[in-house]
Amino acid sequence: MAKRGKVNLARPDWCKACGICVEVCPVEVLELGPERIEIAYPDNCVGCENCELSCPDFVLKVVKENDE
């Protein structure tokens, strides 16, 4: 089975809307909102963890799941 992931806002209040995560997402799951990032297309998440690894404030968490 292919592994996928779901990106979650683990600590939304910590987001300073820097936009780094939006830039590194290869499938454009995230969008920059007025105060913080928004998970605009959660079903497109491929679980690459680019957003989680690039976030300087540990706002995002990618949870792996099995694609059944």
41-61 confidence digits (pLDDT tens): 999 999 999 999 999 999 999
Which residue in the block uniquely carries the two structure tokens 């820097």?
18
Residue 17 tokens read as: 């809307």
Which residue in the block uniquely carries the two structure tokens 């968490």?
61
Q: Provide the whole-model pTM.
A: 0.84
**What dotted CATH number matches 3-66?**
3.30.70.20
Which residue in the block uniquely carries the two structure tokens 């499938």?
27
Percent of residues, the chain, with pLDDT higher than 70: 91
Cα–Cα distance for residue pair 32/66, rounded to 1 Å: 28
Q: Give the pLDDT confidence of 15-26 residue by residue, as tens digits.
A: 999 999 999 999
Mean of all residue pLDDT scores within the chain: 90
Name the residue among 68, 29, 43, 34 with its Cα closest to residue 60: 29
